[in-house]
Amino acid sequence: MSCARHNGEGCDRSPAGEAGLRMDAPDRFHADLLNGLHALAQPLSVLRAASEAMTLLGKQGIDQGRYVAEFCAQAERACELFTSVQNLVATTLTEAGRARFDLWELLAPVIDDQRVLLESSGVGLAVANQAQWVPICGDAQRTARALAAVMKMAGAVASRGDVIELHASRDPGFLQLCFQNTRRHGKKMSSTDRLTLSLAAASITSQNGTYAFAEDPFCFSLALPLDDHGSGEYRTATCADRTH
């Protein structure tokens, strides 16, 4: 199973070859931030138009229910986007934690929550190779944020009847996860989807992890360092010997 690098090249899902746009870190951050602000501007524009419409309709005695519902929905979307931008800035500017944690225990409740949302849209979620999951070294909060973001993004570009597959594998010093939807859709990611991608990528790379991404068919793979108490043949990268 493979997916393309974020820059369009081939990818064998090996953490040795980190994907990502070919930019220096400051340029990457500024580009991600600009995209996030662009995404945030969209619901704010709708909010402005809805508020103006409600003002005019109120004077004419017309039912404002539809516009109120749209106003509330876009306000919620704007809040979520603003939180994503905040998290992106915080992830980029602050140091990640470094502790041992069980990735499966962290991800299981995230999977349960996302499965309910996906199934409501007719999209399935399948998890394989659970036996491959071993303790890793990193920042549990950032990892949970990244995994939730990836599944949210996978669901956003999926269609009814699709199945998002999650595979786990181990490479020397790393535990690797791959989220994949094998169906091609021809869809383009929105600025909101790209903000979600940027947040997931920043959350992973900030803790010495790597990622690779292909847009269509969807594939996002990530690799995080194993804990130094993992099985012997996978102890080449540990909390003690990896630096920020």
Same domain, 217 and 123: yes
Q: Mind listing the pLDDT tens digit for each residue in 51-96?
A: 666 666 655 555 667 767 777 777 777 777 777 887 888 888 788 8
Most confident of 19-23, 32-36, 46-50, 144-148: 144-148
The residue with greater pLDDT, 186 or 157, is 157
Q: Is residue 18 part of a domain?
A: no
Q: Is residue 16 part of a domain?
A: no
- 29 pLDDT band (50/70/90 cuts)? low
Query: What domain range is 39 assigned to?
Result: 25-93
As for how many domains the chain has, the answer is 2
Q: Mind listing the pLDDT tens digit for each residue in 201-217?
A: 999 999 999 999 999 99
Same domain, 128 and 201: yes
Same domain, 148 and 230: yes
**Percent of the chain scored above 70 by pLDDT?**
65
Q: What is the DSSP string of the chain?
A: -----TTSS---S-TTS----S--HHHHHHHHHHHHHHHHHHHHHHHHHHHHHHHHHHHHT---HHHHHHHHHHHHHHHHHHHHHHHHHHHHHSPPP-EEE-HHHHHHHHHHHHHHHHHHTT-EEEEE-GGG---EEE-HHHHHHHHHHHHHHHHHT--TT-EEEEEEEEETTEEEEEEE----------HHHHHHHHHHHHHHHTTT-EEEEETTTTEEEEEEEBPTTS-GGG-SS-TTT---
pTM above threshold 0.75: no
Tell which of 93, 125, 152 closes a domain.
93
Same domain, 31 and 118: no
Tell which of 93, 125, 149 closes a domain.
93
For residue 193, the model assigns a pLDDT of: 86
